[in-house]
A and B are shown apart, each in its own frame.
Chain A
């Protein structure tokens, strides 16, 4: 918690909370901070991976025990979540693909549980971890979605899948025709191509930055509230309640936009 020498400064506290636990080769370090590309944020990777394994493991377990008869409580819960996502896919995506619904389920559930880490008070888990390891300067971010690496990884994967889906459903010729001839016709092919590139690049960037920005800002507000000492008590609760809305909404928006991009990729203009 303390930045240096046991004295707690506001800037030090905030900076410490916004620092990832990074590992990299020593040669890539500048003043003890990893700056090169081959840096891994262990906290992001571990928290998102463990959360994903737990939640998808649970869902797979429930699905393997699923019966058509009266469902158990767990099965019912999983079915409810999956049914909600499936309904959105049905409403928006009219093509045929075995991938879109699982993709949307994965995004919604995973983003939701990662965002939900924000609801644990900001100092609980880092302090517990520091006590456990004995290293009181150990940085550890427990909300993986506040790491742009994660949001970009997801949005770029979605982008890649949408390209593949477009090629698969339309065929290479039709896909290329769409790239060069829409919306102005073949005579203005370079402009069409430019439009298309801007559009395709804008999608993953906006998708990832939206999630990252919302979660980062929310986390920042939590940190600032935590700085208020005793006064944080009346403030943390309303922000926490409001944040429940935000984490659900952001997970839903990410999922929904993914479905929309998939349907745009699969349908002809």
Chain B
């Protein structure tokens, strides 16, 4: 073991390599590693944010779905009610119409009856007159009893 001037040379090499590492190796690597760390942290934060937003969106969509369901149920109920009302209305209208028709028919029938009665009345008078004529032809003068016959006709 002999110590000699090699020591000085080695110290120079050592100093040179420390300088190279300090100047050219460590700073860029440190920067690259720190930057990458920041990037990864950003990415993780973004992922977290995305997840949160997704949760919110899911909540929102569930809300919207529930609203739509409620609205549609309302609409259906309303429609049913309306349909029922329409049916009721139709029923009413039909009844009124039917009543009208029935009333019309009744009136017509009454008229017919009246007319029939009228004609019958006429005929009854005629028949009575004819009958009476036949009777009276034998006994009395027609003209003498016409006032009585008219009064009779009025009574019918």
Contact = CB atoms under 8 A, between A and B. Distances in A.
B18 A102 contact: yes
A106 interface: yes
Given A64-B24, A101-B26, A152 B32 contact: no
Main secondary structure, interface of A, reads helix
Interface stretch (B6-14, B44-52, B125-133): B6-14
B85 interface: no
A41 B8 contact: no
Interface string A148-174: 111011101100000000000000000
Contacts of B20: 56-57, 60, 106
B8 A153 contact: yes
A75 B9 CA distance: 31
Contact of A44 (B8, B10, B26, B29): B10
Given A39-B6, A45-B10, A82 B25 contact: yes
Contact of B29 (A49, A52, A78): A78
Interface residues on A, range: 35 or more
A182 B36 CA distance: 45
Contacts of A20: 6
A112 interface: no
B35 interface: yes
A216 to B, nearest CB: 9
A231 interface: no
A59 interface: yes
B72 interface: no
B4 A68 contact: no
A184 interface: no
Interface residues of B, number: 34
B28 to A, nearest CB: 4
A36 interface: yes
Contact of A59 (B21, B33, B35): B21
A52 B15 CA distance: 11
A45 B24 CA distance: 23
Interface string A39-83: 111001100110010001101101110111101000100110011
Main secondary structure, interface of B, reads helix
B5 A40 contact: yes
Nearest to B12: A153
A147 interface: yes
A106 B14 contact: yes
A144 to B, nearest CB: 8
Contacts of B14: 106, 110, 153-154, 157
Given A56-B20, A60-B25, A98-B22, A83 B6 contact: no
A34 B14 CA distance: 24
A79 B21 contact: no
Contact of B4 (A86, A105, A149): A149
A120 B64 CA distance: 75
Contacts of B21: 56, 59, 102-103, 105-106
Given A56-B17, A99-B22, A147 B32 contact: no
Nearest to B18: A106
A150 B26 contact: no
Given A67-B32, A106-B17, A147 B6 contact: yes
A149 B35 contact: no
Given A56-B21, A102-B22, A148-B1, A82 B29 contact: yes
B3 interface: yes
A67 B29 CA distance: 8
B39 interface: yes
A68 B17 contact: no
Nearest to A52: B17
Given A60-B25, A63-B25, A98-B22, A45 B1 contact: no
Given A39-B6, A62-B29, A110-B14, 11 more contacts: A35-B2, A39-B4, A45-B13, A60-B24, A63-B32, A68-B36, A79-B29, A102-B18, A102-B25, A153-B14, A157-B11
